C-alpha cells in the first residue's frame, strides 16, 4: 500500500514553521519590500527566536548542529516558506550554501559550525559575466604563490554578496584539466583586493542585494581552499539536487498556493454584473487550472523527495521538478494577476509583488532551457527513466 499520510511529527514541524511565518515574518513583508532591506537588529531577533524553536539551519545534518531534516520534511517546510518573502526566510532560517559541508579540520570551526549556528553568513560565488549556464567557463583564476593562492576575477549576481561574511568563490586552478581544474575558496569580507564592485538591482525578491564582486590579487592561505583541489565544480553540483527540489520546487508550490488562496478569496468577494466574479466560467476555469497545476507539481516534488530519502539519485526528476515547478508558478501567478484585474497590477496590493518575485525561479539554479536539455539528453542516452 502507498501511504500519502503526512506523519504526525512532520505535521507538528510544519505547523510550527507556519505559525512562525504568520506571526514573525509575514507582518514584516511590506516593510522589507519598501526599504529593500531587513534591519540588522531584526535579523538578530528573528534568528534568536528561530534558534530557540530549532528552526535555524533545519535541513543541515545533526552532527554539525543542524536540524537533520530528511528531504520530504525539508520540502514540506519549504512549501511553508513560499508563503512569505525570500529575504525574511533567509534571515530567519538561514541560507547556507551546501558545499560548505566539505569543510575540513579548522575550517569546520571557522566557517561551518558558526554558519549553522547563525553567527556568520556565507555566500556562493560561481556566476560570472561571461559564465552563467556554462559554469565551467569561468575566467576567475587562483594561482599558487608559495603556499598561498592569488585569486583574480569578477563574479556577478551573487545573492547577499554585500551582506555575507565570506563567499565561496569558484576559480580555475588548473586550466589543463577542464572541469576538474576548478577549485573553491573561502574569501572573507575585508580581504585586501576583494570588494563589492556594485549592487545589481533586480526585478523582485527585494530585501537582499545581488552584487558584482571584484577580486584583484586576493591572497588566501591554503586553509581557505574548500575540499579537494580540482573538485570545486563537482562539490558545488553535488548539492544542487536538494536545493532545486526544496528551494525551488517546493517553494514554488508554496508561493503558488498563496496566490491561489488570495485569488479564490477575491473571486468570492469581488462582484461585477451583480454577482461574484467567481461565478463566471472564465474565472472558474482559471481557478481550476491553478489548483490542478499546483497539485501536479506538489506530487512531483514529494515523489522525488521520497526517492532521495531512499538513497537514490533521481537527477532527471529533479530537473523535471525544477523547470516544471517554476513554469507552473509563472502560469499560476499570471492568472492570479488577471483575476484581480487592475488591483493585480497596482503596487497597493501584494499580487504585483508576487508576480515579480515569481519570475526569477525560471532563471536561477539552472534555467528552464538547461534543465530541459539535461532531461532530453538523458532520454536520448538512457531511454525513458522509471517514473
Ligand atoms: C536573483 C538571482 C540570484 C542569483 N544568485 C546567484 C548566486 O548567489 N551565486 C551565483 O553564483 N549565481 C547566482 N545567480 C546567477 C544564476 O545562477 C544565473 O543567472 C543562471 O545560471 C543563468 O546564467 P546567465 O544569467 O548568465 O544566463 P545565460 O547562461 O547567459 O543564458 C541566457 C539564455 O540562454 C539560454 N541558454 C544558455 N545556454 C543554453 C543552451 N545550451 N541551450 C539552450 N538555451 C541556453 C538560457 O536558458 C537563457 O535563457 C543569480 C541570478 C539571479 C537572477
Tell me, what CATH number does 75's domain have?
1.10.540.10
If you take atom 6 of ligand 1, which residue's CA is the nearest one? 158
Q: Are residues 65 and 179 in the same domain?
A: no
Q: Quick check: is 108 in a domain?
A: no
If you take atom 12 of ligand 1, which residue's CA is the nearest one? 127
User: pLDDT at position 3, please?
Assistant: 87
141 within ligand 1 shell (Cβ under 6 A): no
Is the pLDDT confidence value at 151 over 90?
yes
Domain end, chosen from 200, 230, 260, is at 230
359 within ligand 1 shell (Cβ under 6 A): no
216: left (phi over 0), alpha (psi -120 to 50) or beta: beta
Q: Quick check: is 110 in a domain?
A: no
Where does the pLDDT of residue 182 fall: very low under 50, low under 70, confident under 90, or very high at 90 and above? very high
- Output the domain CATH number for residue 134: 2.40.110.10
Q: Quick check: is 131 in a domain?
A: yes
Is the pLDDT confidence value at 350 over 90?
yes
If you take atom 39 of ligand 1, which residue's CA is the nearest one? 370
Q: Are residues 219 and 260 in the same domain?
A: no
Q: Are residues 351 and 245 in the same domain?
A: yes
Q: Are residues 141 and 226 in the same domain?
A: yes
Q: Are residues 375 and 322 in the same domain?
A: yes
Domain end, chosen from 32, 63, 97, is at 97
If you take atom 26 of ligand 1, which residue's CA is the nearest one? 132
Where does the pLDDT of residue 257 fall: very low under 50, low under 70, confident under 90, or very high at 90 and above? very high
How many structural domains is the chain composed of? 3
If you take atom 35 of ligand 1, which residue's CA is the nearest one? 369
Over residues 48-53, the mean pLDDT reads 96
Q: Are residues 219 and 245 in the same domain?
A: no
Strands 194-199 and 182-188: unpaired
Q: Quick check: is 112 in a domain?
A: no
Give CA angle at 175 (169, 179), nearest 5°: 65
Q: Quick check: is 14 in a domain?
A: yes
132 within ligand 1 shell (Cβ under 6 A): yes
130 within ligand 1 shell (Cβ under 6 A): no
Task: Work out the mean pLDDT of the chain and round it to a whole number.
Answer: 96
Report CA(92)–ligand 1 centroid distance (Å): 27
In ligand 1, the atom with minimum distance to the C-alpha of 127 is 11
Check residues 128 and 236 and name the one with the higher pLDDT. Answer: 128
Q: Quick check: is 263 in a domain?
A: yes
In ligand 1, the atom with minimum distance to the C-alpha of 160 is 8
Q: What is the DSSP string of 208-219?
A: S-EEEEEEEEEE
Backbone φ and ψ for 275, nearest 5 degrees, come out as -145, 160
- Output the domain CATH number for residue 249: 1.20.140.10
User: pLDDT at position 97, please?
Assistant: 94
Q: Quick check: is 216 in a domain?
A: yes
Over residues 97-120, the mean pLDDT reads 95
Instruction: List, in sequence order, every residue forming a beta bridge with 149; answer none if it has no partner.
Output: 144, 220
In ligand 1, the atom with minimum distance to the C-alpha of 129 is 26
User: pLDDT at position 114, please?
Assistant: 97
Q: Which of 57-61, 333-337, 349-353 has the lowest mean pLDDT?
A: 57-61
Is the pLDDT confidence value at 77 over 90?
yes
If you take atom 24 of ligand 1, which residue's CA is the nearest one? 132
In ligand 1, the atom with minimum distance to the C-alpha of 155 is 11
Report CA(171)–ligand 1 centroid distance (Å): 18
Note down the domain range covering 325.
239-382
Q: Quick check: is 375 in a domain?
A: yes
- Residues 374 and 71: their CA atoms lie apart, in Å, by 22
Over residues 228-238, the mean pLDDT reads 90
Q: 61 Cβ partners below 8 Å, 6+ apart?
A: 68, 101
Each residue of 8-43: pLDDT tens digit? 999 999 999 999 999 999 999 999 999 999 999 999
Domain end, chosen from 182, 197, 230, is at 230
Q: Are residues 336 and 251 in the same domain?
A: yes
If you take atom 23 of ligand 1, which residue's CA is the nearest one? 132
If you take atom 16 of ligand 1, which residue's CA is the nearest one? 364
Backbone φ and ψ for 142, nearest 5 degrees, come out as -130, 115
Candidate from 363, 366, 373, 375 with most ligand 1 atoms within 8 A of CB, to mutate? 363
| Residue 5: DSSP 8-state | P
Backbone φ and ψ for 238, nearest 5 degrees, come out as -70, -10
- Residues 305 and 316: their CA atoms lie apart, in Å, by 13
Q: Are residues 65 and 193 in the same domain?
A: no
133 within ligand 1 shell (Cβ under 6 A): yes
Q: Are residues 255 and 286 in the same domain?
A: yes
Q: Are residues 371 and 344 in the same domain?
A: yes
Q: Are residues 261 and 365 in the same domain?
A: yes
Cell of 222: 591554503
Q: Are residues 343 and 259 in the same domain?
A: yes
Is the pLDDT confidence value at 238 over 90?
no
159 within ligand 1 shell (Cβ under 6 A): yes
- Residues 153 and 376: their CA atoms lie apart, in Å, by 34
Instruction: List, in sequence order, every residue forming a beta bridge with 220; answer none if it has no partner.
Output: 149
Amino acid at each position: 500500500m502507498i501511504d500519502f499520510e503526512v506523519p504526525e511529527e512532520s505535521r507538528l514541524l510544519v505547523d510550527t514553521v507556519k505559525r512562525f511565518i504568520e506571526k514573525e515574518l509575514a507582518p514584516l513583508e511590506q516593510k522589507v519590500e519598501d526599504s529593500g532591506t531587513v534591519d540588522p537588529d531584526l535579523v538578530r531577533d528573528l534568528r534568536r527566536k528561530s534558534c530557540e524553536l530549532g528552526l535555524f539551519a533545519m535541513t543541515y545534518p545533526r552532527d554539525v548542529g543542524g536540524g537533520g531534516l530528511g528531504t520530504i520534511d525539508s520540502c514540506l517546510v519549504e512549501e511553508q516558506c513560499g508563503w512569505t518573502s525570500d529575504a525574511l526566510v533567509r534571515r530567519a532560517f538561514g541560507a547556507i550554501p551546501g558545499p560548505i559541508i566539505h569543510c575540513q579540520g579548522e575550517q569546520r570551526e571557522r566557517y561551518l559550525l558558526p554558519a549553522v549556528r547563525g553567527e556568520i553568513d556565507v555566500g556562493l560565488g560561481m556566476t560570472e559575466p561571461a559564465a552563467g549556464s556554462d559554469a565551467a567557463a569561468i575566467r576567475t583564476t587562483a594561482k599558487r604563490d608559495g603556499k598561498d593562492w592569488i585569486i583574480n576575477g569578477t563574479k556577478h549576481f551573487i545573492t547577499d554578496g554585500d551582506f555575507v561574511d565570506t563567499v565561496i568563490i569558484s576559480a580555475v586552478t588548473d586550466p589543463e584539466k577542464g572541469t576538474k581544474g576548478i577549485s573553491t575558496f573561502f574569501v572573507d569580507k575585508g580581504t585586501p583586493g576583494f570588494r563589492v564592485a556594485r549592487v545589481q538591482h533586480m526585478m523582485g525578491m527585494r530585501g537582499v542585494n545581488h552584487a558584482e564582486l571584484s577580486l584583484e590579487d586576493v591572497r588566501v592561505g591554503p586553509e581557505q581552499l574548500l575540499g579537494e583541489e580540482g573538485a570545486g565544480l563537482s562539490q558545488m553540483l553535488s548539492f544542487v539536487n536538494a536545493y532545486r527540489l526544496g528551494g525551488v520546487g517546493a517553494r514554488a508550490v508554496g508561493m503558488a498556493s498563496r496566490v491561489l488562496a488570495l485569488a479564490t478569496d477575491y473571486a468570492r468577494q469581488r462582484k461585477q454584473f451583480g454577482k461574484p466574479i467567481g461565478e463566471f466560467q472564465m474565472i472558474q476555469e482559471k481557478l481550476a487550472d491553478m489548483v490542478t497545476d499546483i497539485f501536479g507539481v506538489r506530487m512531483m516534488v514529494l515523489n522525488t523527495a521520497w526517492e532521495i530519502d531512499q538513497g537514490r539519485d533521481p537527477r532527471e526528476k529533479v530537473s523535471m521538478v525544477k523547470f516544471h515547478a517554476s513554469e507552473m508558478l509563472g502560469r499560476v501567478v499570471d492568472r492570479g494577476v488577471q483575476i484581480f484585474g487592475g488591483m493585480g497590477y497596482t503596487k497597493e496590493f501584494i499580487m504585483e509583488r508576487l508576480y515579480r518575485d515569481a519570475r526569477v525561479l525560471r532563471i536561477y539554479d539552472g534555467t528552464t532551457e538547461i534543465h530541459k536539455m539535461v532531461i532530453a539528453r538523458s532520454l536520448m542516452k538512457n531511454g525513458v527513466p522509471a517514473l
